[in-house]
Amino acid sequence: MKKINIGIVGMGTVGTGIARLMVQNRDVISARLGAQLVLKKGADLDIERDRGIDFAPGQLTTDPFAVTDDPDIAIVAEMVGGTGIAKEVIDRAIDNGKHVVTANKALLAEHGNALFEKAETKGVNLSFEASVGGCMPIIKTIRETLISNRIGAVAGILNGTCNYILTRITNEGITFAEALTDAQEKGYAEADPTLDVGGFDTAHKLALISALAYGMKINLDDIYIEGISGITPLDIEFARDCGYRIKLLAISKFDNGVVDARIHPTMVPFSNQLSTVSGTMNAVTLTGDGVGDMVLFGHGAGMMPTGTAALSDIADIARNILAGGGIRVPMRAYQAAHIREIPIRPIDEIKTHYYFRFTVFDRPGVLAKIAGILGNQDISIKSVHQTERKLDGGVPLFMLTHQAKEAHVKTALKEISALDVSTQKPVLIRIEESGH
Amino acid sequence: MKKINIGIVGMGTVGTGIARLMVQNRDVISARLGAQLVLKKGADLDIERDRGIDFAPGQLTTDPFAVTDDPDIAIVAEMVGGTGIAKEVIDRAIDNGKHVVTANKALLAEHGNALFEKAETKGVNLSFEASVGGCMPIIKTIRETLISNRIGAVAGILNGTCNYILTRITNEGITFAEALTDAQEKGYAEADPTLDVGGFDTAHKLALISALAYGMKINLDDIYIEGISGITPLDIEFARDCGYRIKLLAISKFDNGVVDARIHPTMVPFSNQLSTVSGTMNAVTLTGDGVGDMVLFGHGAGMMPTGTAALSDIADIARNILAGGGIRVPMRAYQAAHIREIPIRPIDEIKTHYYFRFTVFDRPGVLAKIAGILGNQDISIKSVHQTERKLDGGVPLFMLTHQAKEAHVKTALKEISALDVSTQKPVLIRIEESGH
């Protein structure tokens, strides 16, 4: 039976997951692939730690370049993460003519255009299923299943940390700070949680998915990013009463040569499958002109789910090698000559439905003043709800709007804030009415 | 740009869907594939009907073998359906060394073992993504994404007709007969609905999925099949009160060298994603030792979703052709030498949780008698509910059980039926407690 040698750089969570699956499921992998995947070398700063695997002497090394430069290794899995040494590892592996598999969305969102072009020039694959949505085959589905569809939209819950925090606030009515502490204690959130709760990790993933879906160059810079730290139990409770859950959504839509691409807390109706995704689970809705809406749901992170995704890339490359070929499916879904710069619509120009919460003095005329300003900005109110509950010296006034333009909404909220009627800054949450 | 010629036999719903996507999305397909897919010939008994496509003179033919025997055609899409002429078409295309794409689960469930072996011998692909779950990449995900996982279970809602009927009964409290008539009027159910509502179509699909998941020979004969015609609004209402929805599930599990494979109405807890699938939508949960539970959700039928799945197979084959290769991914997920006969557990030997509804005379001692018989058969009652509502001269007595053996359940229900306490036959619905 043919053997294909694999090297792993970064034997942390995901690197160890790949190695474990290669050992514990060696028999099924070979029975399916018709070849044997062999872990030739693994590199990590710490090679002493028990990883639950019996390594042969010399199989682990502290030198990443002992992996990238090993002439026997055909496929290098870069599992270091970040944009430092990881980039050197990938560059060197590609320079050496090796195929690369990575889970590194941060690096690809920032340097992907150049890295993919370089890999294309060298005729090697730079595969990244593990970088978006853990085990879910989001990239394979866009690149292969939807080859015949014009993809119109992608919407996803792509960060388990945020979804866990929002689920805790929803189910227990605790504050964001309390839910974050809990997530940190459980190991779902980092000590510095900014990358997750600020929406940046989600944006890295959306930049990659959007590129694949529409044949556009990767463009992280123009994605609008808003995190979840402003979400309160009060807003979640009101949303629920109106038939919505609040989720951190990655939204991207293709419309007449322009792309909407944004990350923000979003009110999702119960009828939308994404509203049912709780805890650390992830899900993504892919909308195509042939398939309508299709949803993938699964573990978005973790040793074995992400390891599974990396191994599916490794096996795909192994199959190419066995067939004598190089790149079979273009890395960015489209042939290089067809990849264009497609502009991302500035957030001020989007049109969507909105939820507002004002905290106002409980006196006559306030609603009339607010409604007047909204009307002047062409913002049509769908419903208004006021409760008796006191909040910070005022009472909450909730509103849902019909579709309005973001720039108009900003102007209106600024004018309303300038009135002497509120005790708190207005809260704005966008609503996503489409989708299954 | 290279051209790859396609032939379609059967220009009905799915065949037309393939042709339409090839025309309306020609540009994106080429930009992704790097080659042009050309519809060389389409065969159908009716070549006059308007299909919304401009065909060239001679592009349509009434002779299926003009497609299978055309030396310029590389890939034949068999979209006739059924087990008659469809088999001749596939056999002849394979004999002629052509790759075949089909949506024909009935044919593959019955003759797949021989057909796949024949295709392997000839070195051509017999691809069938379109035969299970419409647009959802169930087959690709099992064969490629999960290559490194031991797959432990598959559970799915794989028949849109049944799911539509159950959804209508659930939402409106109408009877099965009323919901079926509505489904027929809307075109979701055939005049003879047996294939769908009897569970047979679902069984064809489960036979294929199980073969791929566990590396087993296709075995339709030993799958237990129970349809949905016995489901009443009363059972659905009680299930809902206890936190369950009733769905027609295809369930397959691998356990120590034996496979559970069964189709029956199933109570699914609200916490399971499959409980949220309504109307004609389909979904499937794949459980692997690496990924845990992963769910795919989408349109399980229809012109464009199923056409999309067929085109993803066509594009995969086209990529193989462009790379100079034949079979890249083994059709049945495993290399032929590793495909085994794996026995399916007889239904009497399964263990699961049960729901019973007895309709009993409202008098003292009845519950004690029933409970006694259940206890003697080692069936442990989890909860009992009795309502005051009169039904057919009796009152309904609902029970949920802990895990019990089906053979014991059957014996107990037979003994209970023999008692002079019931006015109706007992109702039994199996419960699926596992899964996301």
Would you say residue B343 lies in a domain?
no
How much is the average pLDDT of B248-267?
97
Distance from CA of B279 to the nearest CA of A (A): 11
Q: What is the pLDDT of residue B324?
A: 86
Residue in A136, A307, A330 closest to B290 by CB? A307
As a whole number of angstroms, the distance between CA A155 and CA A435 comes to 9
Q: What is the ipTM of this complex?
A: 0.96
Model confidence at A268, in pLDDT bands (50, 70, 90)? very high
B24, B148, B296 member nearest A296 (Cβ):
B296
pLDDT of residue B363: 87
Q: Do A246 and A185 have their domain in common?
A: yes
In degrees and rounded to multiples of 5, residue A181 shows phi and psi of: -60, -45
pLDDT at A391: 74
Look at residue B36 in the predicted model and tell me its pLDDT. Answer: 98
Tabulate helix, strand, coil % of chain B (nearest 5): 40, 25, 35
> In A, which residues are within 8 Å of B288 by CB distance?
308
Task: Give domain status of residue A436, yes or no.
Answer: no
Interface of A with B in 31-60 (CB under 8 A): 31-34
Output the average pLDDT for chain B.
96
B356, HSE (Cβ side, Cα atoms, 13 Å): 31
Question: Per the domain annotation, does B47 fall within a domain?
Answer: yes
- Is residue B69 domain-resident? yes
Side chain identity, residue B104? N
Q: What CATH number is given to the structural domain containing B153?
A: 3.30.360.10
- A297 and B297 within 8 Å at the Cβ level: the answer is yes
- Looking at residue A10, what is its pLDDT? 98
CA distance B195 to A426: 57
Average pLDDT estimate for B270-282: 95
Please give the biggest Cα pair distance in chain A.
Answer: 83
Query: Considering chain B, what percentage of its residues have pLDDT values greater than 70?
Result: 100
pLDDT per position as a tens digit, B368-404: 999 999 999 999 999 999 887 777 788 999 999 999 9
Domain count along chain B: 3
Out of A281, A307, A335, name the one closest to residue B31 (CB). A335
How many contacts, defined by CB atoms under 8 Å, are there between A and B? 214
Residues of B in contact with A329 (CB under 8 A): 319
Beta bridge partners of B39: B6
Distance CA B182, CA B179 (A): 5
Q: Does residue B158 lie within any of the structural domains?
A: yes
pLDDT-derived band at A219, boundaries 50, 70, 90: very high
Which tokens is B361 given? Answer: 């005379």
Residue range A408-424: mean pLDDT, rounded: 95
In this structure, are B16 and B90 located in the same domain?
A: yes
Q: Is pLDDT of A435 > 70?
A: no
Q: What's the rounded mean pLDDT across residues A99-119?
A: 98
Is pLDDT at B130 greater than 70 in this prediction?
yes
Query: What are the two backbone dihedrals, phi and then psi, of residue A391, each rounded to the nearest 5 degrees?
Result: -145, 110
Token pair belonging to A78: 């870069």
* A130 in contact with B, Cβ within 8 Å: no
C-alpha span between A295 and B334 (Å, rounded): 27
Q: Is the Cβ–Cβ distance between A268 and A244 less than 8 Å?
A: yes
Contacts with A325 from chain B: Cβ below 8 Å: 323-325
Please check whether residues A159 and A192 belong to one and the same domain.
Answer: yes
CATH number of the domain to which B27 belongs: 3.40.50.720
Q: Is the domain of B243 the same as that of B316? A: no
Confidence bin at A436 (pLDDT 50/70/90): low
Look at A294 and B25 and tell me if their CB atoms are within 8 Å: no
Cβ contact A323–B323 (<8 Å): yes
Same domain, A69 and A148: no
What's the CATH code of the domain at B397?
3.30.70.260
Question: Which of A29, A296, A299 is the closest to B148 by Cβ?
Answer: A29
Chain A residue with Cα closest to B339: A31
The catalytically annotated residue of A87, A105, A205, A247 is: A205
Cβ-contact A409, A377 below 8 angstroms: yes
Query: What are B175-190's pLDDT values in tens digits?
Result: 999 999 999 999 999 9
Q: Count Cα atoms within 13 angstroms, Cβ side, for B48.
A: 0
Q: Are residues A76 and A111 in the same domain?
A: yes
Tell which residue, A245, A250, A212, A215, has the closest CA to residue A231: A245
A165 and A122 part of one domain: no
Cβ–Cβ contact A289 with B under 8 A: yes
Residues A105 and A144 in one domain: no
Range of the domain at A246: 138-299
Query: Which pLDDT belongs to residue A171?
Result: 96
A50 found inside a domain: yes
**pLDDT at A392 > cutoff 90:** no
Q: Compute the nearest-CA separation of B387 from chain A (Å).
A: 31
In a 3-state reduction of DSSP, which class is residue B173?
coil
DSSP string, B111-144: HHHHHHHHHHHHT--EE-GGGSSTTS-HHHIIII
Answer yes or no: do A262 and A289 share one domain.
Answer: yes
* Position B434 confidence tier, pLDDT thresholds 50, 70, 90: confident
A327 CB within 8 Å of a chain B CB: no
Q: What is the mean pLDDT of residues B3-28?
A: 98
> How crowded is residue A387: how many other Cβ atoms within 10 Å of its Cβ?
12
Helix (H, G, I), strand (E, B) or coil at A385: strand
Which H or E run contains A160?
helix A160-172
Q: Determine whether the interchain pair B292/A276 forms a contact, defined as Cβ–Cβ distance below 8 Å.
A: no
Residue A430 confidence (pLDDT): 98
pLDDT over 90 percentage in chain A: 95
Residue B82's CB is within 10 A of a number of other CB atoms, namely: 11
Q: What is the pLDDT of residues B49-93, one digit of tens each?
A: 999 999 999 999 999 999 999 999 999 999 999 999 999 999 999
Is A206 a member of any domain?
Answer: yes
For residues A164 and A295, state if they share a domain. yes
Q: Provide the percentage of residues in chain B whose pLDDT is more than 90.
A: 95
**In what order do the strands lie in the sheet containing B36-43?**
B60-61, B36-43, B3-9, B75-78, B99-102, B126-127
Note the pTM of the prediction, 2 decimals: 0.97
CB proximity A273 to B under 8 Å: yes
Q: Do A312 and B148 touch (CB under 8 A)?
A: yes
CA angle A272, A275, A279 (to 5 degrees): 150
B contact test, residue of A25, A26, A29, A32 with most B CBs within 10 A? A32
**Chain A residue numbers touching B323 (CB-CB < 8 A):** 320, 323-325, 328
pLDDT in tens, A288-333: 999 999 999 999 999 999 999 999 999 999 999 999 878 999 999 9
Q: What is the mean pLDDT of residues A124-150?
A: 97
* Beta-carbon count within 10 A of B58 CB: 8
Q: SS3 of B135, please?
A: coil
Q: Tell me, what's the pLDDT at B436?
A: 66
Count of CB atoms situated within 10 Å of the CB of A407: 15
Are residue A286 and residue A166 in the same domain, yes or no? yes
Does B288 reach chain A within 8 Å, measured CB to CB?
yes
Asked if A26 is an interface residue toward chain B (Cβ–Cβ < 8 A), one would say no
DSSP letter at B216 equals: B
Q: Which of B147, B291, B324 sits opposite A315 (nearest CB)?
A: B147
A213 has a pLDDT exceeding 90:
yes
Radius of gyration of chain A (CA): 24
Task: Please identify among residues 215-244 of chain B the ones whose CB lies closer than 8 Å to any CB of chain A.
Answer: 215
B198 in A contact zone (CB under 8 Å): no
Same domain as B273, residue B147: yes
| Residue among B32, B144, B436 whose CB faces A333 most closely | B32
Q: Per-residue pLDDT for A398 more than 80?
A: yes
